[in-house]
């Protein structure tokens, strides 16, 4: 008789997960097919994945790798899902009043190690998952594989079916006690699991605050024909500032506001995050300098300085050139004419994408009704 998940083993694994700092943990079966896979395929066909080709990968038979855990991992029978609360300190929100000359970096990227050095959550979560993996194999013999955003899996679907929370209208996993400030990590296992679904109650109700607040209309409102919660990632500010290479569509630049890496708006307006707890997690610390960073500071980071500040952090994946493109757009949205010299310098540089973005920002700043008056005043001050 094959070894399988028992209530006792599930509870032992959850205890191990909590010891590693996770706020929630659960186990879901990995069936050959699921409704989520059908919805994912339709989402891909609709073009909502943008340029994220890794989401579109298929096997030789033409099946999307993410259509089932068993497509890429034939021995997969269950998935352990762990959620880490990344709220490490009280902090302002991006929707709070702030200096228009400052940018916004998504909250999940503020994390550093206990010494305040840059840290990529992928590495930290993977370390915690592997410690849990060791503990699991001391309890039972099975095959396992750990992933943090890198596996051919629909993590949020597994998280919902494992009872971590429900998929909100902002398409994030929302936990009633913790909110949605959660990072997900998974361990695929060969242990059979009954198809019992531990779905958390959906408590979004009639609320549409996230949909209404999204500046780029990336969140698709549920309809009777399509009741599932979906996002057009090609319009999402997080996608535009992190994943999107090259030129950002002009019509989406003004709605981006001051976002230079990711976006938190749809989570900040969610009522379930009003009382989201602050976590105390061993080995992790909050990097205060990344909250409302000055655009001028980000613009002034040369190659070595960028590496010093962000090597080993999520921002390293975006790279300096793409970050500067985002900073240029944020400068254009700031209304601050003090950025004109920097933008003019970028228009004359060798980076064609940055030059084009800076040129757009210059035109936007100069088109302000008071721009000519302010520019004249600035010139007069400089000539004194």
Tell me the average pLDDT of the chain.
Answer: 91
pTM of the model: 0.91
Residue 22 has pLDDT above 80, yes or no: yes
How many Cα neighbours within 13 Å face the side chain of 126? 12
Q: What are the DSSP calls for 197-225, one per residue?
A: --PPP---TT--HHHHH-TT--EEPP-SS
> Mean per-residue pLDDT for 153-163?
94
> Mean per-residue pLDDT for 192-203?
79
Distance CA 323, CA 361 (A): 15
Which pLDDT value is given to residue 195? Answer: 65
Of 223 and 125, more confident:
125
Which pLDDT value is given to residue 1? Answer: 41
CA of residue 156 relative to chain centroid, distance: 12
3-state secondary structure of 104: strand
> Mean per-residue pLDDT for 230-247?
96
pLDDT tens-digit readout, 247-277: 999 999 999 999 999 999 999 999 999 999 9
Distance CA 233, CA 272 (A): 23
Q: E strands, the chain, where?
A: 24-29, 78-85, 104-105, 111-113, 144-147, 166-167, 173-174, 182-189, 219-220, 230-231, 259-261, 284-286
Distance CA 167, CA 7 (A): 25
Residue 227 has pLDDT above 80, yes or no: no
pLDDT tens-digit readout, 59-90: 888 889 898 899 989 999 999 999 999 999 99
Q: Indicate the DSSP class of residue 102.
A: B
Which pLDDT value is given to residue 183? Answer: 97
Buried b (16+ CB within 10 A) or exposed e, 208-228: eebbebbbbebbbeeeeeeee
Which pLDDT value is given to residue 221? Answer: 82
Which pLDDT value is given to residue 379? Answer: 39
> Mean per-residue pLDDT for 279-307?
95
Domain coordinates in residue numbering, the chain: 7-293, 295-384
Rounded to 10 degrees, the C-alpha dihedral 344/350/356/359 comes to 10
Q: What is the 3-state secondary structure (H, E, C) of 303-352?
A: HHHHHHHHCCCHHHHHHHHHHHHHHHHHHHHHCCHHHHHHHHHHHCCCCH
Grade residue 196 by pLDDT with cuts at 50, 70 and 90: low
Distance CA 162, CA 192 (A): 14
Residue 337 has pLDDT above 90, yes or no: yes
Show which residues are catalytic.
149
**159, two tokens:** 């998280």
Residue 371 has pLDDT above 60, yes or no: no
Q: Give the sheet arrangement for strand 144-147, strand by strand.
A: 24-29, 78-85, 182-189, 144-147
> Mean per-residue pLDDT for 148-159?
92
> Mean per-residue pLDDT for 3-30?
95
Residue 372 has pLDDT above 70, yes or no: no
- Nearest Cα neighbor of 299 from 255, 250, 247, 357 is 357
Q: How far is CA 242 from CA 151, 248, 298, 325, in A?
A: 19, 11, 15, 11
């Amino acid at each position: 008789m094959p070894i399988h998940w028992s209530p006792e083993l599930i509870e032992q694994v959850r205890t191990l997960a909590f010891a590693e700092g996770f706020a929630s943990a659960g186990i879901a079966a990995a069936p050959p097919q699921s409704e989520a896979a059908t919805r994912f395929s339709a989402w891909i066909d609709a073009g909502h994945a943008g340029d994220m080709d890794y989401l579109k990968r298929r096997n030789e038979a033409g099946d999307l790798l993410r259509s089932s855990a068993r497509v890429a991992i034939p021995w997969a029978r269950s998935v352990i899902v762990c959620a880490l609360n990344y709220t490490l300190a009280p902090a302002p929100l991006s929707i709070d009043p702030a200096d228009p000359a400052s940018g916004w970096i998504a909250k999940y990227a503020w994390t550093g190690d206990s010494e305040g050095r840059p840290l990529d959550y992928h590495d930290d979560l993977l370390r915690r998952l592997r410690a849990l993996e060791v503990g699991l194999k001391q309890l039972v013999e099975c095959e396992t594989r750990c992933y943090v955003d890198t596996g051919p899996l629909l993590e949020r679907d597994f998280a919902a079916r494992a009872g971590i929370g429900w998929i909100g209208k902002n398409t994030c996993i929302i936990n009633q006690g913790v909110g949605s400030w959660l990072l997900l990590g998974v361990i695929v296992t060969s242990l059979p699991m009954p198809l019992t679904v531990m779905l958390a109650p959906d408590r979004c109700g009639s609320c549409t605050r996230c949909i209404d607040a999204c500046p780029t209309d990336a969140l698709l409102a549920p309809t009777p024909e399509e009741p599932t919660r979906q996002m057009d990632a090609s319009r999402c500010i997080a996608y535009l500032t992190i994943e999107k290479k090259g030129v950002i569509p002009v019509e989406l630049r003004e709605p981006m506001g001051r976002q230079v890496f990711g976006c938190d708006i749809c989570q900040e307006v969610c009522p379930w995050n009003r009382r989201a707890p602050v976590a105390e997690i061993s080995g992790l610390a909050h990097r205060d300098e990344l909250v409302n960073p000055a655009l001028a500071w980000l613009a002034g980071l040369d190659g070595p300085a960028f590496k010093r500040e962000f090597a080993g952090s999520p921002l390293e994946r975006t790279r300096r050139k793409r970050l500067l493109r985002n900073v240029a757009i944020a400068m254009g949205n700031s209304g601050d004419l003090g950025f004109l010299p920097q933008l003019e310098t970028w228009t004359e540089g060798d980076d064609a994408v940055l030059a084009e973005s800076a040129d757009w920002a210059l035109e936007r700043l100069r088109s302000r009704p008071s721009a000519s008056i302010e520019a004249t005043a600035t010139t007069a001050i400089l000539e004194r």
